[in-house]
Amino acid sequence: MGIGTSNFVIRWINLLTMLLAIAVIIFGVWMSTHHDSCRRSLTLPVLGLGGFIFVISIIGFLGALKNNSILLWIYLIMLCIILVAILVFTVLAFIVTNNGSGHYAPGLRYKEYELQDFSSWFLKQLNDTQNWKRLKSCLVKSDDCNNLSKKYKTLKQYKSAKLTPIEAGCCRPPSECGYPAVSASYYDLSFHPISSNRDCKLYKNSGATKCYNCDSCKAGVAQYMKTEWRVVAIFNVILFVILSMIYFVGCCARRNAATNHSKA
């Protein structure tokens, strides 16, 4: 690849990623003004990501603009670190999300999940008291459970609904408990549970309690995280291919810059 072509490509790619980084930083600043502490907790990671993308982009842009082999070397080293990090994270994500398939209960259109079916990493994270305390506070604030009665006006609609893993695990008692549903947000707890599952005794109709302390809720969160991680892992594979192509173009630009420098 010629020097003009490789430098042109690197300049424009990094100009676009600089604009992307600015957008990410603005988004991070917006999140910092949010009243929801769960979303606000993501402010620093988002700002850090935006700042890192901006720094590496400006190094690559200036290196290609000035045909500077040192700047391009730094750019390639940082890009290589990103490629290795993406590869490691993607492999780990596929390994961690390999377990946990769930099971259908009679009469339900959705699956129920058991915590012990998931990987040991998920078990460790979700059984950590401090981690779950933070997650639980976010679940309560999300109003997913309280909104079920608004989504499903009648008991018939609720019983035929296809609930999400979090709604199925955190908003209702496990089906094995046998509690009759009065509405989408209320169960008749006067019935003696037919199962010895401890989640049956932990469930309460209160909006602040529900089944947030249940293993079934942790399992629902684990399934949600598994699904999200799989999406991220697939995205990372695509990103890895794109960045590898950019890395190749950057190598060409750096080699041409070094050749020009030696001739000067």
Q: What is the DSSP annotation of 196-236?
A: --THHHH--SSTTTTTTTSHHHHHHHHHHHHHHHHHHHHHH
| Range of lowest pLDDT (59-68, 167-176, 210-219) | 59-68
In this structure, are 129 and 178 located in the same domain?
Answer: yes
Overall number of domains in the chain: 2
In a domain, 29, yes or no: yes
- pLDDT classification of 262: cutoffs 50, 70, 90: low
What mean pLDDT is predicted for residues 28-44? Answer: 69
pLDDT in tens, 126-180: 999 998 988 888 888 887 888 898 889 888 899 889 999 999 999 999 999 999 9
In a domain, 37, yes or no: yes
In a domain, 206, yes or no: yes
DSSP character string of the chain: --HHHHHHHHHHHHHHHHHHHHHHHHHHHHHHT-S-HHHHTTHHHHHHHHHHHHHHHHHHHHHHHTT-HHHHHHHHHHHHHHHHHHHHHHHHHHHHTTS---EEPTT-SSEE--GGGS-HHHHHHHHSHHHHHHHHHHHHHHTTTTTHHHH--SHHHHHT----HHHHHHSS--GGG-PPEEETTEE-TTSPPSS--THHHH--SSTTTTTTTSHHHHHHHHHHHHHHHHHHHHHHHHHHHHHHHHHHHHHHHHHHHHHHHHH-
pLDDT in tens, 113-123: 999 989 888 88
In this structure, are 75 and 13 located in the same domain?
Answer: yes
In this structure, are 165 and 180 located in the same domain?
Answer: yes
In this structure, are 61 and 92 located in the same domain?
Answer: yes
Q: pLDDT at position 159, please?
A: 86
In this structure, are 68 and 91 located in the same domain?
Answer: yes
In this structure, are 85 and 120 located in the same domain?
Answer: no
For residue 156, the enclosing domain spans: 103-222
What mean pLDDT is predicted for residues 106-118? Answer: 88
In this structure, are 107 and 128 located in the same domain?
Answer: yes
In a domain, 232, yes or no: no
Phi, then psi, of 191 in degrees rounded to 5: -75, 140
In this structure, are 10 and 92 located in the same domain?
Answer: yes
- pLDDT classification of 86: cutoffs 50, 70, 90: confident
In a domain, 227, yes or no: no
Are the beta carbons of 98 and 119 closer than 8 angstroms? yes
pLDDT in tens, 231-255: 888 888 888 888 888 888 888 777 7
In a domain, 166, yes or no: yes
pTM of the model: 0.80
Q: Please work out, in degrees rounded to the nearest 5, the angle formed at the alpha carbon of residue 5 by the alpha carbons of 4 and 8.
A: 85
Are the beta carbons of 90 and 58 closer than 8 angstroms? no
In this structure, are 145 and 206 located in the same domain?
Answer: yes
In this structure, are 215 and 140 located in the same domain?
Answer: yes
109 token code pair: 């259109």
In a domain, 194, yes or no: yes
In this structure, are 188 and 246 located in the same domain?
Answer: no
In a domain, 22, yes or no: yes
In this structure, are 13 and 54 located in the same domain?
Answer: yes
Select from 249, 256, 246, 255 the least CA-distant residue to 17. 246
